[in-house]
Amino acid sequence: MQLQHTLLMAHSMVAESKQTADTYPNDGGGGVCAYYDCTVTIRESTLKQNEAPLTGNGHQIMIYKMTSVHPVASVTIVNTRFVSCDACGTGANFFLYDNDNTGSSGTIAYGSYSRKLCSSSPCTVAPFTGSCTDRTDNADYGVTCAYSCGSGTYGPAVSQSSLPPLATCTTWSSCTAGEYISSNGTNITDRVCTSCSAGTFSTSTNENSCTPWVNCTVGQYIATNGASIADRVCTPCGTGAYSASANGDSCTPWANCTVGQYIATNGTSGTNRGCSPCDTGKYSTYANAFSCTAWSSCVAGQKIAANGTATTDRTCVACSTGKFSIATNQNTCTNWTACNATTEVESSAGSATADRVCATASSPSPAGSSPSPAGSSPSLESSPSTAANTSTTDVPNLLSAASRYRPQLYLCGVFMVSILFLGIQC
């Protein structure tokens, strides 16, 4: 009971309180009873199942009015929950006893004289200094005042179905690394944070968006995978390796050009090395050669001992004695010409680069010719025979002898012709 002056009830609960004495009509008020010019303010509280069983006058609140002595009491109720008494039966939850005119006492009189609504501007206590709304579930329940929170804080919308509200504003949620602000906070709603989607990241708090991971380009590889809180890390391919597509997990070693190949195209960080086989007539003997080498050329006086391949050089060997070659890269050497033993003599000896040259041997004296006079030089027939394939330089004496007696025969022949012409015998 409050007789005069001011009654402030905030963040409180009056539950299952009962009137226990007096049955006079001017008595009642199970929860609150106020007399005369008392000022009653109830904020963010709960009045639950209170009862005035003796009179039924104001199970929750009763006001006693006697304006001939004092002004009537006023009641301001803000953001307060009421739970009616289940076992109360008859009576009124809100009642004004009008001592000046008892016939007008009742709930209507309470509403007319004591109840204060938004027109009285009751939303004056922080944080509930926002908009004011008269209760629609029961006008005697008073009003709801909305939160009015400062920057970075919020209070949820005050609803008459969920009273009383918390008496403080709540700081907006903080979006951490790996999240972004998908909805900004207001004075009545919290900030909404959402995780970065795959392939994006954020590294600081309360970012407005997530950043896509960097793309590792051709010629790079992923050194460290990205995460929701860290970017992807790219590293260039090292010497001798390449990557041909973006965001490769690793670099691939260049191809090795094997023996028998050469590097047609050098590798780069973004392309493979290109290899090509050696052309016919060329070879390489080690990996990753920059070019192929031409086979050796077998010159005159040589023959090919082993043909070249893509991996080996051509091998040459000198012609053996009695054979020759006059062109390059011959598969075989040719035997020297054999001079006829009876009709020819060797006029030029063969070599590794030239054939033997044969000449016709000189003819012997005609058959039946008279023998040389005694004491004269020997005839060809009486001279020793020479080998056909022996060089003329090897038999100088025989040739000298022939040169000595042949002119004599020739002169003798002329002489004989002269004698025959003259009729004289030789």
Return the closest-CA partner of residue 86 out of 51, 116, 61.
51
Which band of pLDDT confidence, cut at 50, 70 and 90, is reported for residue 87?
Answer: confident
Q: Mean pLDDT, to the nearest integer, of 191-217?
A: 97
- CA 342, distance to chain mean position in Å, is 92
Weakest-pLDDT range from 148-152, 350-354, 389-393: 389-393
Q: Mean pLDDT, to the nearest integer, of 132-155?
A: 93
Q: Which long-range contacts (CB under 8 A, 24 or more apart) does 302-307 make?
A: 302/330, 302/352, 303/330, 303/331, 303/332, 303/333, 304/329, 304/330, 304/331
Is residue 415 over pLDDT 50? Answer: no
25 close to 52: Cβ distance less than 8 angstroms? no
Is residue 401 over pLDDT 50? Answer: no
Residue 4 confidence (pLDDT):
61
**212 three-state secondary structure:** strand
What is the tens place of the pLDDT at every residue in 64-80? Answer: 988 877 888 999 999 99
Please state, for a pLDDT cut of 70, what percent of the chain lies above it. 83
Residue 86 confidence (pLDDT):
74
44 close to 11: Cβ distance less than 8 angstroms? yes
Give residue limits of the domains in the chain.
Answer: 1-166, 179-212, 220-253, 261-294, 302-335, 364-422
Question: Letter for the amino acid at 327?
Answer: A
Residue 18 confidence (pLDDT):
86
Residue 59 confidence (pLDDT):
92
What is the overall mean pLDDT for the chain?
85
Is residue 178 over pLDDT 90? Answer: yes
Which band of pLDDT confidence, cut at 50, 70 and 90, is reported for residue 1?
Answer: low
Which band of pLDDT confidence, cut at 50, 70 and 90, is reported for residue 150?
Answer: confident
Burial of 296 (0-12, 13-18, 19+ CB in 10 A): middle
Q: Mean pLDDT, to the nearest integer, of 351-355?
A: 96
Higher pLDDT, 300 or 72: 300
Q: Mean pLDDT, to the nearest integer, of 247-259?
A: 97
Q: Mean pLDDT, to the nearest integer, of 22-42?
A: 83
Q: What is the pTM of this model?
A: 0.56
Burial of 94-104, coded b for 16+ CB within 10 Å and e otherwise, reads bbbbbbeeeee
- CA 74, distance to chain mean position in Å, is 74
Residue 364 confidence (pLDDT):
55
Which band of pLDDT confidence, cut at 50, 70 and 90, is reported for residue 155?
Answer: confident
